[in-house]
Structure 1
Amino acid sequence: MDCKLRAKNCGGCPMLATEYAAQLKKKEADVRALLGKYGPVAPIRGMETPYHYRNKVISTFAPAAGGKLTSGIYAARTHKVLPVESCLLQDEVLDKVMLAVRAAANACRCQPFNEDKGTGLLRHCLLRRGVATGQVMVVLVTAQPVLPGAKNFVKALLAGAEKRGVPVTTVVQNYNPRRTSVVLGEDEKVLYGKGFILDTLCGKTYALSPRSFYQVNPVQTAVLYGLAVDAAHLTGKEVVLDAYCGIGTIGLTASDKARQVVGVEVNRDAVRDAIGNAKHNGVKNARFFAADATAWIREAADAGQKADVVFMDPPREGSTPAFLESVARMAPKRIVYVSCNPETMARDLALLTQKGYRAESFTPVDMFPHSAHCEVVGSLVRVK
């Protein structure tokens, strides 16, 4: 399967022309080359249907002919917007919702933001879909604090979505005045609905707000988290630390099999969502703290606190030496390392293995088919 945008320098699917089986083979080999010296690498977990898996879409507005606007994705290594009507990676419902957003913006004569001049109104549109619930969130990112004719925009959007046979559950305006590549700003206003949507994952229901971190591939996320919880070998007696916990997904997935779960996350919005998610799911053995993971665990280790199992799911840059050393001082029996970057995972493993841990296994998970990225679940056990 191919896409006409690839010929226009779209960088979203660099491996699209490669057969999927060959993609998996290459990713597994890459993980084995990086991590194989630390422990055995299991066969990669791929998708049965590796298309239309993204439950989150970010589209950038740009000028179009006749004074109108369009929206799409940046061409690779540029700030030129390629108009997108449909995408082989994106949820097909979200493709249709984005067309409704674009039509509503044109009907309301909204102007796209011009990065060079600093003029115009609409910067980006972020869409989320709860695949299990069918709920859809529309986040309109503006360069100005006021969206003129907001009620008319919402009315036109809802009508356009209904015409296309797709739902819109909530609409949020996000104000981002900064000259930055960061999509979302700090200020938000709910224009329609409750300002969040619900989704179900691994038997738990989660509230997703505009800035919530939530994995974009729900099918493979269930695989990833299932592997992570299995790797922890929980018996119901363990104290579990969920570091870099986001909205609490891994910790809450593990909560049924643990005595207590403690989650730590630097993003306060995510922590608020995690606390709400625990309450919504009736989970009473989980607590969440808004703090830098490295600083929090260093203080906890200094105070003599212990954890039986540590889940760590750091960002692409990996963890920090201070965090890893503090984990080693806590001396958990097991560490389950969920990585979105096997290169930084290999770097961190070099330190963990020096601190008395041995890798039992690594399982690659193809979270992002047709891209070069690969997630890995690593299981480590304390040997001294």
Structure 2
Amino acid sequence: MSTPTCPLQSRRCGGCPLLHLPYEEQLAQKQQKARALLERYAPVAPILGQADPWHYRNKAIATFTQGRGGLQAGIYAAGTHHVLPMPQAGCLLQDEVLNQTLKAALDAARTCRWPAFDEDRGTGLVRHLLVRRGVHTGQVMVVLVTSDPRLPGSRNFVAALRKAAPWVTTVVHNCNPRRTSAVLGRDVRVLYGPGHILDTLCGLKFTISASSFYQVNPAQTEVLYHKAMEAAALTGKETVLDAYCGTGTIGLCAMAAGAGRLIGVEKTPAAVKDAGANAARNGIRNARFFCADATHWIGEAAREGLSPDVVFLDPPRAGTTPEFIAAVTAMKPQRIVYVSCDPETLARDVALFARRSWQATGFQPVDLFPHTEHLETVCTLVPKK
């Protein structure tokens, strides 16, 4: 498989550090890392790579900067806040429609003559562009992030954007006045359309808002979730607990696969709202979602006697906590399906589970992020006999 070149690769973009390697070598490297970290606990299955590992990302973020030719937008150089302007051909990892949308949004912002936000001085207006696409529905969202809630010329921006990119179905204004590396703020105003997009995953429809967590590689996410459902071995009567549930994707897929009852826990309010809407949209009634920190909530639930049959957890890169593991153990589920985005924290947590008399039965690596060092893994845990 030939490896295309990117003009930003020599300028320390950092977005795809393995781009210089043939894809087969990338997979071999990730397989070796997974085995080195995890094989001491259980067998590691062959990694599941992507048939076409290009333009797979359904979400993209660009940062505004003031360049010599006026307003520019691009990606930070690795380890810095220096913005590298987007190449003319777009990013090799991003959906090609999103590459075109970013260009159209930048041009529309230029017509409004908005100044880029300066992090050091705290001056300027426009900070970031966030774009998302429902690959199966074709719906596209553009989120304009500014430092000020006032946005003069917002109607002109929407008109110019829609003229250049008529496929855009919603435009959102997000205000983030804080001196922070976080992209989004809390203030949200819909400028055009419904304020969200829809997509289909594993046969279910999902609502995606600006701040909702939703896997960026839909093709490989379906591979990952099918493996998670296989690991859960659902029979149709189980009570399922979906911790760190985001918009409810894993738990709702479990309901579609045959679970009897779903309880989801997520700390992001917008994601919890979307999870409830997703359950209703798919006609799933026996599902309930709670907005809370997973560790705190599960500790309380264990003390109150909740005893799910299967627990899914898909924590952030930092992994879960010893308190979470202790609470899950007290619930005495039949099995735990751990979906990890970092094999190092997964290895740490599997060791903690082992101290609580849990045994890993196998690991399934899935490459959701070709040309990067990230790796997703499905781990099945059962009580030790």
TM-score category of the 2 structures, normalised to the smaller one: over 0.9
Instruction: Give 1:19's aligned amino acid.
Output: P
Alignment of 1:150-161 (within 5 A): 150-161=154-165
SS of 1:171's equivalent in the other structure is: strand
Counterpart CA distance in 2 for 1:210 and 1:125 is: 11
Sequence identity, in percent? 59
Partner of 2:296: 295
Q: Give the whole-Å Cα distance in 2 for the aligned partners of 1:335 and 1:9.
A: 40
Which residue number corresponds to residue 322 of structure 1?
323
Query: Could you tell me which amino acid in structure 1 is paired with residue 321 of structure 2?
Result: T
Q: Which of 139, 143, 146 is equivalent to 2:147?
A: 143
CA deviation map 1:280-337 (0-9, x unaligned): 1100121111111111111111112101100010111100000001101111110000
Specify which of 129, 132, 138 is matched with residue 134 of structure 1.
138
Name the residue aligned to 2:177. 177
The residue number in structure 2 matching 1:229 is 229
Q: Deviations over 1:118-155 (max 9, x none)?
A: 11110000000000000000000001111101111100
Mapped pair 1:372 → 2:376: no
Please give the per-residue CA displacement for 1:239-278, whole angstroms capped at 9, x wherever unaligned: 1100000000000000021111110111111111100110
Q: Distance in 1 between matches of 2:367 and 2:63?
A: 26
Q: Which residue of 1 aligns with 2:241?
A: 241
Distance 2:11 2:188 in 1: 34
Q: Residue type of the partner of 1:185? A: G
Find out whether 1:42 has 2:55 as its counterpart.
no
Paired residue for 2:11, among 8, 11, 15?
8
Partner-residue secondary structure (3-state), 1:102: helix
For the residue of structure 2 that corresponds to 1:34, the secondary structure is helix
The whole-number CA distance in structure 2 between the counterparts of 1:245 and 1:52 is 26
Aligned to 2:28: 25
For these two proteins, the number of residue pairs brought into alignment is: 379
Partner of 1:52: 55
TM norm structure 2: 0.97
Structure 1 match to 2:118: 114
Distance in 2 (alpha carbons) for counterparts of 1:103 and 1:267: 32
- Counterpart of 1:95 (choices 85, 99, 113) is 99
Q: Taking structure 1 as the reference length, what is the TM-score of the superposition?
A: 0.98
Match of 2:354 in 1: 353
Flag structure 1 segments of 5+ consecutive residues without an equivalent: none
* Secondary structure of residue in 2 paired with 1:361: strand
Q: State the alpha-carbon separation in 1 of the partners of residues 110 and 289 from structure 2.
A: 43
In 1, Cα distance between equivalents of 2:122 and 2:269: 30
Paired AA for residue 79 in structure 2: R
Name the counterpart of 2:250: 250
> How far does residue 64 in structure 1 lie from its aligned partner after superposition?
2.3
Q: CA deviation at 1:382?
A: 1.4
Match of residue 219 from structure 2: 219
Distance 1:78 1:300 in 2: 42
User: Which stretches of structure 1, 4 residues or more, deviate above 3 A after TM superposition?
Assistant: none
Given residue 43 of structure 1, which amino acid in structure 2 is its aligned partner?
P
SS at match of 2:351: helix
Do structure 1's residue 168 and structure 2's residue 171 form an aligned pair?
A: no
> How far, CA to CA, are the matches of 1:41 and 1:2 in structure 2?
32
Q: Map Cα deviations across residues 38-66 of structure 1 (whole Å, 9 max, x no partner).
A: 10000000001101001000000011224
Amino acid in the other structure paired with 1:10: C
- One-letter code aligned to 2:117: F
Q: Name stretches of at least 5 consecutive residues in structure 2 with no aligned partner.
A: none
* Alignment correspondent of 1:70: 72
Which residue in the other structure is 1:80 paired with? 82
Residue 220 of structure 1 aligns with an amino acid whose one-letter code is: Q
Structure 2: distance between partners of 1:299 and 1:106? 51
Q: Distance in 1 between matches of 2:341 and 2:40?
A: 19
Question: Hey, what does 2:345 align to over in structure 1?
Answer: 344
Query: Counterpart amino acid of 1:92?
Result: E
Q: Which residue of 2 aligns with 1:198?
A: 198
Letter in 2 for 1:248: G
State the partner residue of 2:273. Answer: 272
The CA deviation at 1:355 is 1.3
Secondary structure in structure 2 of the residue aligned to 1:4: coil
Distance 1:73 1:295 in 2: 36
Q: Distance in 1 between matches of 2:149 and 2:272?
A: 26
